[in-house]
Amino acid sequence: MGRVTIQQVAKAANVSPSTVSNLLNGRTERMVPATRERIEAAIAELGYRPNRAARQLRTGRTQTVGLIVPSVGNPFWGAFARELEVAALAVGCSVLLCNSERDPERERRYVEELWEDGVRGIVLCSSLPTLDHLADVVARGLRLVTFDRPAQPGDPDSVVSVSIDNHVGGFLAGSHLTSLGHERLTFVSGSLASVNRTGRFRGFCTALEAVDLDPTAMPLWTGFEDTPFGDVEAAEVGRRAAHALFSGTEEPPTGVVAINDMTALGFCRGLRDQGLRVGSDVSVVGFDDIILADLYDPPLTTIRQPIARMAALALGEVLDDGDREPGRSVLLRPELVVRESSAPPPVGGVPERRTAEVRASDLRASDVSTTDGAVR
Amino acid sequence: MGRVTIQQVAKAANVSPSTVSNLLNGRTERMVPATRERIEAAIAELGYRPNRAARQLRTGRTQTVGLIVPSVGNPFWGAFARELEVAALAVGCSVLLCNSERDPERERRYVEELWEDGVRGIVLCSSLPTLDHLADVVARGLRLVTFDRPAQPGDPDSVVSVSIDNHVGGFLAGSHLTSLGHERLTFVSGSLASVNRTGRFRGFCTALEAVDLDPTAMPLWTGFEDTPFGDVEAAEVGRRAAHALFSGTEEPPTGVVAINDMTALGFCRGLRDQGLRVGSDVSVVGFDDIILADLYDPPLTTIRQPIARMAALALGEVLDDGDREPGRSVLLRPELVVRESSAPPPVGGVPERRTAEVRASDLRASDVSTTDGAVR
DNA sequence: CTGAAAGCGCTAACAG
DNA sequence: CTGTTAGCGCTTTCAG
């Protein structure tokens, strides 16, 4: 059973290959219904399937969209990838998935490669502050949609971005905590999640200011400036933050907002390392609402991203050939999901550590440091 | 900057296109070094990149391998996908990822499509008991490697499988619990994880028998036979199992082995719903060692799959054009990772439920049922 | 309304 | 050792 070609279909239907091609490409108005039916019958009978490679060689394009995520090992990206595939499937596209590991060079190589493979466009999940490394391909016509990375001032004009409104998200998280009565709060993030961090952190600050708290007076945690944590290691960032914040500080926070759920979960783990209880001793709010947030003990309060809708939107932006506004940003409203990791602050502040068995081996001491002050 | 073709390179290097092609395809012995250098210089200068589509159209093959997983939304599959990509990258291949959602028809369509796209081969993560729906493509020459699905009697000859030794894994999990002193044990799995379940469950039984416990006397839980749980819903299976096992049963188990970590985590959640404590009240052992196992509270004891090595092996099997033994099974040894979700059984058995606030709304009553008896 | 013809960029005989 | 040649399967003007 060798490949059946358009020629064979044409022969079987008593037409020329070009007529078959016309049918295949929706130019049905160019033929009389009878012809059409004959061709369709032939296609069905022979089990004809167009050859992608040939088609692409001819037209230069495909029905594939590229998706670049930091790492599918992170459940949030896994879930998003899945949603994008669902959306793509619905319109007959397929998705080519790549992990950048947050490495700009790797990101660039993938983009270049996908472009040369003729993808329709790319959904890029990146939090790199600049898109300079991609300016070239974008200039050559690549349709690029960034996800979870709000548009930045220097971005190429044609790039559109789909993300949640991080400012709102940060505000929801922060004011949830202040409304519970917390007055000493910390924002925890790795240094690499830079683009989102800005918005989320600002929203967090806005929430504090709304109740006359001074954000600059809080012990902040902005990660290890020189540690290139990948995405899966986000949890480790959180864990170390917890160790640092609750071991040296005389007045530790009673509430914490983490840049994402993985970091939040790691933070919870770090609290436990020190005998502190999540929820009752320290409140923790995450970001994303990954599947595990609800499974955790205690279930994690978090800011939900509507990924299914976002995936559909992002795909639409990639595929839409129409005359869209370029440089557009689509911002969706995130949602606060209250679970059990947040509660009113304990009376009398955070208790002493309940255990002394923090193993030094758990931490590489040189990596630990707190950074105070403004994050912009 | 239009595409630069092999012709242009040939012209620039003063040779014919075929000589360039020869160089590109490693047939360097057919040319004098000087020629070779000239061509390489031209390629570098022009920034020539071969056109995949043309190459594929000509040769019929690509440098892509297909990967079909139940769902990248599940962290285990996400992590595996990532490892496979790492392995592929190292040998200049790319990975095309698809989610089957455990739907045989969807699985078949993807396989068919990947095959028509000319992938080198496919790594299929499936736990369907039969491969009949793929017999066709395999017969037409598809190189198929199954992962996490040990070879089954009726499988096509050419299929090779890479997986852990599930029997050993089940045994490790079971005997860990019996060596802690547990005597009432349960094995929890959804009905769909069928192929692995058999091996893991048998190993579990072997472990019980090794200490003269009678597996058939234990309250088993084999899921909702008629509920087509997807993969992300594995957690829900676990949760419901916990509700069912600890609400009606007069003599609930003190230790539980779950078919995978997601199910185990869900089970833990279910225990908590009932005021039971994981580790101290009921011991739980999972399977896979996903990133979240270590983050959980308490950290989950589990059977680790060496996914990086398995990914490399699976890729090797897909790519290897040599004269391999067909129908081969590669079984890797899993490893017990002891953490805090397992401990000696509580004296006096599992305590009464500590809270009465199990909300009926958490469960759809009609879905809840226990199934006793043999699982084969 | 339908067909003939000319490639897209590359590879692999087969000649020189 | 290198060049000529004939397509892979499809699309798309351009004529009938």
- Kindly state whether residue A70 falls inside one of the protein's structural domains: no
| Minimal Cβ distance to B75: which of A75, A113, A118 | A75
Q: What is the mean pLDDT of chain B?
A: 84
By CB atoms closer than 10 A (0-12, 13-18, 19+), residue B90 is: exposed
Closest CA to A223 of A184, A266, A254: A266
- Kindly state whether residue B157 falls inside one of the protein's structural domains: no
Backbone angles phi, psi at A292, to 5 degrees: -80, -15
- Kindly state whether residue A97 falls inside one of the protein's structural domains: no
CA–C1' span, B319 to D8, in Å? 23
Chain A contact for B50 (CB, 8 A cutoff): no
Contact A111, A68 (CB under 8 A): yes
The pLDDT assigned to B194 comes to 66
Asked if pLDDT for residue B356 goes beyond 50, the answer is no
Closest CA to B167 of B193, B214, B205, B209: B205
| Minimal Cβ distance to A291: which of B73, B82, B294 | B73
Count other C-beta atoms under 10 Å from residue A143's C-beta.
20
The pLDDT assigned to B323 comes to 61
pLDDT band at B364 (very low <50, low <70, confident <90, very high): very low
- Kindly state whether residue A136 falls inside one of the protein's structural domains: no
The pLDDT assigned to B259 comes to 93
Contact B185, B174 (CB under 8 A): yes
> And the tokens for B1?
């900057």
Same domain, B351 and B204: yes
By C-alpha to C1' distance, D5 is nearest to: B18
Give the domain extent around B10: 1-49
Same domain, B352 and B206: yes
C-alpha to C-alpha distances, A143 to A71, A164, B187, nearest whole angstrom: 22, 21, 50
CA B288-A229-A219 angle, to 5 degrees, is 115
Same domain, B221 and B346: yes
Q: How large is the greatest C-alpha to C-alpha distance in chain B, in angstroms?
A: 88
CB contact (8 A) between residue A79 and residue B56:
no
The CATH code of the domain that includes B17 is: 1.10.260.40
The pLDDT assigned to A349 comes to 67
The pLDDT assigned to B336 comes to 98
pLDDT band at B250 (very low <50, low <70, confident <90, very high): low
- Kindly state whether residue A211 falls inside one of the protein's structural domains: yes
- Kindly state whether residue B106 falls inside one of the protein's structural domains: no
Mean pLDDT value across residues B3-14: 84
Contact A115, A136 (CB under 8 A): no
- Kindly state whether residue B317 falls inside one of the protein's structural domains: no
Asked if pLDDT for residue B228 goes beyond 80, the answer is no
Q: Between the ranges B13-22, B91-100, B300-309, where is the mean pLDDT highest? A: B300-309
Same domain, B45 and B171: no
Closest CA to A246 of A353, A359, A376, A356: A353
The helix/strand/coil state of A97 is strand
Residues in A touching B1 (Cβ below 8 Å): 140
The CATH code of the domain that includes A345 is: 3.40.50.2300
Same domain, B363 and B227: yes
**Residue B174: partners with Cβ closer than 8 Å, 6 or more residues away:** B185, B203, B204, B205, B206, B207, B208, B257
Q: What is the 3-state secondary structure (H, E, C) of chain B?
A: CCCCCHHHHHHHHCCCHHHHHHHHCCCHHHCCHHHHHHHHHHHHHHCCCCCHHHHHHHHCCCCEEEEEECCCCCHHHHHHHHHHHHHHHHCCCEEEEEECCCCHHHHHHHHHHHHHCCCCEEEEECCCCCCHHHHHHHHCCCCEEEECCCCCCCCCCCCEEEEECHHHHHHHHHHHHHHCCCCCEEEECCCCCHHHHHHHHHHHHHHHHHCCCCHHHCCCECCCCCCCCCCCCHHHHHHHHHHHHHHCCCCCCCEEEECCHHHHHHHHHHHHHCCCCECCCEEEEEEECCHHHHHCCCCCEEEECCHHHHHHHHHHHHHCCCCCCCCCEEEECCEEECCCCCCCCCCCCCCCCCCCCCCHHHCCHHHCCCCCCCCC
Indicate yes or no: strand D within 7 A of the C-beta of A227. Answer: no
Q: How many domains in chain B?
A: 2
pLDDT band at B57 (very low <50, low <70, confident <90, very high): confident
The pLDDT assigned to B372 comes to 29
CB contact (8 A) between residue A99 and residue B116:
no
Question: CB-side exposure of A231: number of CA atoms within 13 Å?
Answer: 23
Task: Spell out the per-residue pLDDT of chain A, length 376, in tens.
Answer: 457 888 888 888 888 888 888 888 888 887 888 888 888 888 888 888 888 888 888 887 788 999 999 999 899 999 999 999 999 988 888 888 899 988 899 999 999 888 888 899 999 998 788 999 999 888 888 899 999 998 888 899 889 999 999 999 999 999 999 999 999 999 998 875 567 888 999 999 999 999 999 988 887 766 655 555 556 678 888 998 999 888 865 688 999 999 999 999 999 999 999 999 999 999 999 999 999 999 999 999 999 999 999 999 999 999 886 666 767 889 999 999 999 999 999 987 666 654 434 333 333 332 222 222 222 2
Indicate yes or no: strand D within 7 A of the C-beta of B299. Answer: no
CA–C1' span, B109 to D10, in Å? 23
Contact B198, B192 (CB under 8 A): no
CA distance A334 to A338: 13
Mean pLDDT value across residues B162-191: 94
> And the tokens for B244?
């069912």
CA distance A133 to A118: 19
The pLDDT assigned to A141 comes to 83
> Looking at CA atoms only, how far is residue B275 from chain A in angstroms?
12
Residues in A touching B95 (Cβ below 8 Å): 97
Chain B contact for A282 (CB, 8 A cutoff): no
Chain A, residues 54-83, CB within 8 A of chain B, namely 54, 56-57, 71-75, 77-79, 81-82
* pLDDT tens digits, one per residue of B124-136: 998 888 999 999 8
Indicate yes or no: strand D within 7 A of the C-beta of B75. Answer: no
Same domain, B45 and B170: no
Asked if pLDDT for residue B361 goes beyond 60, the answer is no
- Kindly state whether residue A282 falls inside one of the protein's structural domains: yes
Percentage of chain B with pLDDT > 70? 85
